[in-house]
Structures are given as C-alpha cells and as structure tokens.
C-alpha cells in the first residue's frame, strides 16, 4: 500500500511542476495568505497503537497563515480519527466460551467495536519553492504539537447488554489521550488564479498517551501503562487561499 502511495505522490509532484512551467508568463503570488484546508488521510498504526487498532481514516480541517516572501507557515489543525478494526477485545470478560455475549433478552447480542478519536494541534513550518515563477508551490514541511485522543466505541445495536449501559461503558472503552507530535513532508500547490490549490504528502503522528479511566472492569483496576502511539499515513488536502496585503491584487488577472 505504501509503495502505491509513494508512486502517487511522485506523479502528483511531477504533474504539478509541468503545469507550472506552462505558466511562466504569470507573476508570482507572493502576498501573505490565509489558507483553509479540508484534508483526508489514510493511516497505518505502529507501536502500541498497532496492538489495539488496525488502519484508520482521518478527516481534518486546517487553517493557517503563510507569510509574505518568507513562506513561513503558522497554523491550527483538528483531525477526526475513525476505523472499523479493533484488535483488543475489551468485552472479552463478558463473552461465553463460544465468544458470544448474551443480552438481557437471553439472546446473542449484536455488538460492534470501532475506533474513534481526534488529534488537535498547532503547527509551524515552511514552503520551499521549486520554481522562481511560483514561490507558493513546492516542498511543504511542518512540525506540530497538540493532543491525541482515542477510544474503543462500543456499539450495542439492540441495546440489550446491561453491563455497558450508562456510566458502565466507561469501564470498557479504553479512553486514552496525551501529548502528540506531528510531522508532515510533501508537495503544496497554490495556483496563481486560485483555481487548483492542494497539498499531498506523508504524515507521522506520535502520541504519548495513557488510559484516563479510573477503573477498567476486565482487569479490575486502573491501567497506568505509558503508551507510545504512532500513526503513519498519506494526507491529501484541498485548500482555499485568501490573499491579503499589498500583493493581493496579483491574483486578479
């Protein structure tokens, strides 16, 4: 999967550079710019995260400012994590020897486990231009820090399992959070006519988390394990830029 993602990234960069060369008669857009981006990512877990969850998807909303001429970036991001593969059976203590859970209607319960979470961070970085004629397209590098949180979403489709109703569900959901560090490297293109604006690249997230529930029913106690959660993925973002300052008129031609 990663091999195909890297190939896709290379083709994206090569295509964009070629498109820029066809527009060498245009002036560069060098003004300060506010950029809002809706992004989507596919992520694979590693370290402690891989013991609990499989791959996940990520939907993010980012807002940032890129400074005039220097291309320094300062921004905020909020990402929602969601996935359907949970490797750690948090309801194992409720199951029969056959692996089923009996509901209060004395029938086999229909229960599903899902991954849910978020990552909120502030970040800074720089855009390194590849062509002189467009200083707003090139290699994008950012570093961020914030809060990573994740848990197991327990879905009782028929509401028949008394043990996971109300506050009791907190004893099974493994809610964990802590400091997160995020690194991104890829390619960003800001079109001088504001028609096509995007970025694509590789993202790494490291979370230093721990369980925040005071009591877990299956282990009959508190889990104070210090976790190291890692996510590695490909992120693609579609951006809406708003140029401000004395160079703002350069985009209207």
Q: Say what the pLDDT of residue 71 is.
A: 93
The H-assigned helical ranges of the chain are: 2-21, 48-52
Number of structural domains the chain divides into: 1
User: With the C-alpha atoms ordered 211, 216, 222, 227, is the resulting torsion angle positive or negative?
Assistant: negative
Q: What span, in angstroms and rounded, lies between the C-alpha atoms of 198 and 37?
A: 8
Q: Is residue 250 part of a domain?
A: no
Nearest to 160 by CA among 111, 114, 112, 115: 111
Residue from 165, 154, 170, 81 nearest 114 by CA:
154
In a domain, 113, yes or no: yes
Residue 223 contacts residue 211 (beta carbons within 8 Å)? yes
Give, rounded to a whole angstrom, the gap between the first and last alpha carbons of the chain. Answer: 42
Is 167 strand, coil or helix? Answer: helix
Structure-block tokens of residue 159: 């509401």
Q: Is residue 161 part of a domain?
A: yes
Any domain includes 60:
yes
Contact indicator for 131, 137 with CB cutoff of 8 Å: yes
For residue 149, give its domain range: 2-245
Contact by Cβ (8 Å): 48, 227: yes
Give the model's pLDDT for residue 159.
Answer: 86
Looking at residue 120, which CATH number applies to its domain? 2.40.160.20
Q: Are 115 and 65 in contact (CB under 8 A)?
A: no
Q: Looking at the domain assignment, is residue 39 inside a domain?
A: yes
- 197 belongs to a structural domain: yes
What is the chain's pLDDT, residue by residue, as a tens digit (253 residues)?
A: 555 555 555 555 555 554 444 444 444 467 899 999 999 999 999 999 999 999 999 999 999 999 988 999 999 999 999 999 999 999 998 999 988 989 888 889 899 999 999 999 999 999 999 988 888 899 999 999 999 999 999 999 888 898 888 899 999 999 999 999 999 999 999 988 778 899 999 999 999 999 999 999 888 888 889 999 999 999 999 999 988 865 444 443 3
Query: Which pLDDT belongs to residue 19?
Result: 46
Closest Cα to residue 145, out of 121, 127, 165, 119?
Answer: 121
Q: Which pLDDT score, from 0 to 100, does residue 20 have?
A: 46
Query: In the prediction, which pLDDT does 24 show?
Result: 43
| Any domain includes 163 | yes
Q: Say how many C-beta atoms besides its own lie within 10 A of residue 177's C-beta.
A: 21
At 209, list the tokens. 């988390």
253: in domain:
no
CA–CA distance from 112 to each of 44, 126, 152, 158, 216 (Å)? 21, 43, 10, 11, 19
pLDDT at 75: 98
């Amino acid at each position: 999967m990663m091999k195909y993602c890297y190939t896709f990234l290379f083709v994206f960069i090569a295509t964009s550079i070629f498109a820029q060369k066809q527009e060498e008669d245009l002036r560069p857009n060098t003004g300060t710019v506010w950029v809002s981006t809706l992004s989507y990512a596919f992520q694979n877990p590693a370290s402690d995260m891989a013991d609990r969850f499989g791959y996940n998807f990520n939907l993010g909303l980012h807002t940032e400012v890129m400074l005039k001429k220097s291309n320094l970036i300062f921004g905020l991001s909020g990402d929602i994590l969601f996935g359907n593969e949970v490797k750690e059976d948090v309801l194992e203590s409720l199951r029969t020897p056959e692996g089923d859970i009996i509901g209060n209607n004395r029938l086999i319960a229909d229960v599903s486990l899902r991954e849910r979470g978020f990552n909120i961070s502030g970040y800074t970085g720089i855009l390194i231009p590849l062509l002189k004629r467009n200083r707003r397209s090139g290699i994008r590098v950012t570093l961020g820090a914030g809060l990573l949180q994740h848990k197991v979403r327990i879905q009782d489709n028929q509401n028949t399992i008394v043990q996971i109703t109300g506050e009791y569900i907190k004893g099974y959901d493994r809610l964990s959070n802590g400091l997160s560090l995020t690194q991104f490297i890829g390619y960003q293109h800001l079109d001088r006519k504001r028609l096509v604006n995007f970025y694509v690249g590789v993202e790494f997230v490291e979370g230093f988390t721990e369980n925040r529930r005071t009591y877990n029913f299956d282990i009959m106690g508190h889990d104070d394990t210090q976790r190291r959660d890692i996510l590695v993925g490909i992120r693609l973002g579609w951006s809406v830029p708003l140029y401000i300052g004395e160079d703002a008129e350069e985009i209207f031609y």
